[in-house]
Amino acid sequence: MSTDASDTDRPAAADDDGEDAPEAYESLLGEYRRIANVRSAGEMLSWDQQVMMPEGGTPARSQQLSTLSSLSHELLTDDAVGDALAELDAIELPAEQAAVVREIQRQYDRAEAVPGELIEEISTTSSEALPAWEEAKAEDDFESFAPYLQKHVDLKREYAEHIDPDRDAYEVLFEEFEPCLSLERAEQILETLRETLVPMIEEIRNADADLATDAFTSLGSYPADDQEALCRDVLSTLGYDWDRGRLDTSSHPFTAGTTFDSRVTTRFDESDPLGSLLSTVHEFGHATYTVGLPDEHYGTPLGEDRDLSVHESQSRLWENHVGRSAAFWEHLLPTFTDHFPHAADVTPREAYEAANQVYENNLIRVEADELTYHLHIIIRFEIERALIAGEMDVEEVPAVWNDKYEEYLGIRPETDAEGCLQDIHWSHGNFGYFPTYSLGSAMAAQLYAAAEADIGADALEAGVREGDFDPLHDWLTENVHRHGARYETNELVEQATGESFTADAFTDYVTEKYGSLYDLDSV
């Protein structure tokens, strides 16, 4: 297959290691760029469906996305890709070229194992399930969504069976989102988080701490238009590239795009401005990673993110280590009160305490505090593992969900809308996605600790306090963003921090931070 005309204007394929690329490598890149462009087009259509598309557009959009998904699969499994990979397998390549081939080979092997008809059916089901989920959530009607969830479970079991019938199906699905860390290692990190957080949360709830948890929520309402204006100011302050992005609203905050066009969304609750603010900072982390990927490698694995764990490390780093920091609130509060004068008497310390409260009764994951957030993840992880393993029927999900919330968080949803229907992921059939949120949080702490060591903790904090985020942004670009998918996950963390990926930095960080906030005896 020939490359797109636009590709012929690009520089010669990567000889970043100082060597010319073999002809087969050039051919492989040409084929892959076409695949990447089809995928990007599909992602933009999906963004439009969630943000801009009229409600009646689903039938056509479903077919459009299904066609693009099928086309991407056909291009990836084309003989031209397989032949180039086979030829390159016998050639010793420079490091960056070898990384590109490694990443394409991984995708090719998985795609070749799955029939194109199944890929198309999964895409169609996802497109149809999205509006069904939105309506079911609005109407608090899990039963209307259950058939779509069941179909996704069946299709993804079949998908995993094609890839490797001898392995745990959930493990195979997890690799879609985190191909470089084993599920066993992910479970070990989740267990470390559980062992650290469950007793800490219990101690916090029993602590006699007088924090200003309602510093903002006790003051009245915060109009959505004013919240949006604040979020735009915050994005500008953080360094969001408006020439390559935009801010919109959606039922579930997300980011989509490429290094040239990375769009963020948020949502607003007029009783609590922190939800949209911190969600926007979170999505900024995703967007700044995507925009930070090297332009010259667009359409190749060197211009793509490493995986969702790394992506989440960027969003959680900006949301928690920056957006929830005392220094950030010292900088932001004057801007905040410009938009909301009725909060003029809130002090930076009170704002910091409000942003870091540990909730006793929050049911919504995207509105959760930094600690209980991970129990939300563990609940979803356990439920979807049971679904894929056939240990739970779809009809049981609401009851099991509610029981686990009562067991792990001491609260029980009164409706499915605030329970098992709150997240968008299962409408897309994204089983195996949720663990990457907690993996990303652990990675964020390790990366931020390394940034503090390199930049200087005091200098980094002073920069945040003064609204100068360039040192942190430059450090992340140098150590994470610019590498794309050159390194596998653990190697990327080792390159950036000097150590293998563990949860140690996260446990140290939350122990120190929340021990000080709540004056815990264990610290």
Specify binding-site residues: 282, 286, 312
Mapped to the 3 state alphabet, what secondary structure does 427-478 carry? HHCCCCCCHHHHHHHHHHHHHHHHHHHHHCHHHHHHHHHCCCCHHHHHHHHH
Report, in this order, helix, strand and coil percent for the chain, each rounded to 5: 70, 0, 30
DSSP tag of 322: I
**How many angstroms separate the CA atoms of 322 and 417, rounded?**
31
DSSP string for residues in 155-170? HHHHHHHHH-TTS-HH
Q: Is 255 helix (H, G, I), strand (E, B) or coil?
A: strand
Rounded Cα–Cα distance for residues 424 and 47 (Å): 13
Coil, strand or helix: which one is 30? helix
Task: In whole angstroms, give the CA distance from residue 489 to residue 482.
Answer: 14
Query: What is the Cα 242 distance to its own chain's centre?
Result: 21
User: Among residues 185, 172, 175, 103, which one has the least CA distance to residue 442?
Assistant: 185
Written as one string, the DSSP assignment of 103-129 is HHHHHHHHHHTS-HHHHHHHHHHHHHH
Cα separation, 325 vs 467, whole angstroms: 12
* Annotated binding residues for Zn(2+): 282, 286, 312
User: What tokens does 308 get?
Assistant: 């969702």
Structure tokens at 332: 């932001």
Contact 300, 272 (CB under 8 A): no
Q: Which of 120, 175, 178, 283 is catalytic?
A: 283
Helices 348-355 and 273-292 cross at an angle (nearest 10°) of 80
Q: 249 by DSSP, 3-state: which? A: strand
Of 115, 108, 84, which Cα lies nearest the Cα of 13? 84
User: Smallest Cα–Cα separation from 350: which of 230, 210, 513?
Assistant: 210
- 494 catalytic per annotation: no
The string of DSSP letters for 191-208 reads HHHHHHHHHHHHHHHHS-
SS3 state at 247: strand
3-state secondary structure 332-392: HHHHHHHHCHHHCCCCHHHHHHHHCCCCCCCCCHHHCCCCCHHHHHHHHHHHHHHHHHCCC
Neighbours of 147 (CB within 10 A): 12
Angle 199-520-213 (CA atoms, 0-180°, nearest 5)?
A: 90
Question: Residues with catalytic annotation?
Answer: 283
